[in-house]
Amino acid sequence: MTEFVNVILNEGDLNENDERAGKQARIATMLLSRPPTNALTRQVCREIAEAAAQLGARADVCAVIVFGGHEIFSVGEDMPELRTLNAAEAVEAGRLVQSAVDALAAVPKPTVAAITGYALGAGQTLALAADWRVSGDNVKFGATEILAGLAPAGGGATRLASAVGDSKAKDLVFSGRFIDAREALELGLIDEMVAPDAVYDAAVAWASRFLDYSPAVLATAKAAFGLDEALGRRSDDRGR
């Protein structure tokens, strides 16, 4: 039983006679629901990891949308909770963020983050763990951990650098500055920008492109990117 993260199979508004109805049901949504900010508490992170594992194991799911609702994607780690933790608990909280982010990245299916409102700190990192990101044109992004005296959790710096390059990532991480959706699009942090009320539908349209392909083949294709990255690291190591 989960409290803050739900897995929903998208049935849409299609009727049973629509030839696409069976396909539409193969898109799943991981819905974050911890109002008002979808802060990534320890429990939320546990539930994200569990939901990601569940979705990864489902043969009837072809693609996954990560959605925080129509108001906000996630502001990142729960700062009030962090302030109550001792040193050991804080380390564990950071490990749980990492586990949640890694679990989403490891889902062996195409994943799309549908981003509304704010994606800050570890919330931005969670979005970066998806294969693609669709954002409302009013969304604010930021690697804001430094503003709270923290370094990015969950591999945030590495994932941000992979999306926008080292120089831009360092600018964002060291300054903690907010950027708007237009700048995020220009930097390559997001893949598509739409009207705020069209974010989820745009994510469904993006995920629907993969419905005609075998989930097993998609999983193998996605795994190839991890292999390519590992081979690239080995090549770099040999060149040093």
What HEC string does 82-139 produce? HHCCCHHHHHHHHHHHHHHHHHHHCCCCCEEEEECCEEECHHHHHHHCCCEEEEECCC
Tens-place pLDDT, residues 39-81: 999 999 999 999 999 999 998 899 999 999 999 999 999 999 9
For 41, 122, 161, the CA distances from 104, given in Å and listed in that order, are 16, 13, 18
Nearest Cα residue to 156 out of 132, 116, 124: 124
Across 15-29, 30-44, 100-114, 198-212, least confident range: 15-29
Residue 30 has pLDDT above 80, yes or no: yes
Assign 186 a pLDDT band (cuts: 50, 70, 90).
very high
- Kindly state the average pLDDT of the residues 185-191: 98
Residue 236 has pLDDT above 60, yes or no: no
DSSP class per residue in 144-203: GGGGGT-PPPTTHHHHHHHHH-HHHHHHHHHH---EEHHHHHHHTS-SEEE-GGGHHHHH
Residue 18: the pLDDT is 41
| The CA-based dihedral angle spanning residues 103, 27, 139, 68, taken in that order and rounded to the nearest 10 degrees | -60
Give the whole-number percent of the chain exceeding pLDDT 90: 80
Across 67-81, 153-167, 215-229, least confident range: 215-229
Residue 75: the pLDDT is 97
Tens-place pLDDT, residues 91-124: 999 999 999 999 999 999 999 999 999 999 999 9
Residue 154: the pLDDT is 79
Assign 1 a pLDDT band (cuts: 50, 70, 90).
low
Q: Is residue 140 within 8 Å of residue 127, measured between CB atoms?
A: no
H/E element, 5: strand 5-9
Residue 11: the pLDDT is 63
